[in-house]
Amino acid sequence: MKTLILLRHAKSSWKDESLPDFERPLNRRGKEASDLVGRYLKEQMIVPDLVLSSPAVRARETVERVVKKAGWTTEIRFDPRIYEGSGLGLLEVISQIENDRKTALLVGHNPGLEELLMLLTGDNKRLPTAALAKVEIKAAKWAAAADKRARLASLIKARKLALS
């Protein structure tokens, strides 16, 4: 079995309207939410074998904060296909993960993450910023993820973490 954790980047800033979308950083709420997610993952003892992320600034900052708060030394790869990637495009990205990796964290954007979740599980769930969706894939190889033998094991929203 493989475990895929989907994390939508945290809330970004629209303060500087001259910045291209790719370069928008996290705002204060986004930084706080990223830290909450990192602490949650540490408390749950969830440590991925690989982190795949969009190279967009807000995704990079989300990853950096989560990894720091979780205390991971996990390999991080920034893959340009994740930025603006469709569900099918993201499925291609995860199908290329090395099979010795049991758990992977994918940090990206909507609508691609929601489309990927639907493709994998059939669940049409909303992923707000800093939401974590844990998907269990009944397959020995990542390339078999598209076989629709996956289930949504949990969906955690950062705002719920702030209340706990």
What is the tens place of the pLDDT at every residue in 19-51?
999 999 999 999 999 999 999 999 999 999 999
With contact defined as beta carbons under 8 Å apart, do 147 and 159 qualify?
Answer: no
Mean pLDDT of the chain: 95
* Residue 52: its H or E element: strand 50-53
Q: Does residue 125 contact residue 110 with C-beta atoms inside 8 Å? A: no
Contact 83, 22 (CB under 8 A): yes
Q: Would you place residue 159 in the very low, low, confident or very high pLDDT band (cuts 50, 70, 90)?
A: confident
DSSP helix/strand/coil, 132: strand
From the list 72, 135, 146, 68, the residue with the least C-alpha distance to 102 is 135
Residue linked to tokens 């010795």 = 100
Q: Residue 163 pLDDT more than 60?
A: no
pLDDT band at 147 (very low <50, low <70, confident <90, very high): confident
The amino acid at residue 22 is F
For residues 104 and 49, the answer to whether their CB atoms sit within 8 Å is: yes
pLDDT at 164: 55
What is the per-residue pLDDT across 101-138, written as a single tens digit (0 to 9) for each?
999 999 999 999 999 999 999 999 999 999 999 999 99
Taking residue 133's Cβ as centre, other Cβ atoms within 10 Å add up to 25
Q: Would you state the pLDDT for residue 13?
A: 92
Angstrom distance (rounded) from CA 75 to CA 49 = 7
pLDDT at 31: 97
**What proportion of the chain, given as a percentage, has pLDDT over 90?**
89
Counting every residue written for the chain, the total comes to: 164
CATH topology for the 2-163 domain = Rossmann fold (3.40.50)
What kind and span of H or E run contains 153? Answer: strand 150-156
Average pLDDT over residues 54-78: 98
End-to-end CA distance of the chain: 30
**Cross-strand partners of 3:** 103, 136
- Report residue 45: phi and psi, to 5°: 55, 40
pTM of the model: 0.95
- Reply yes or no on whether the pLDDT at 61 is more than 90: yes
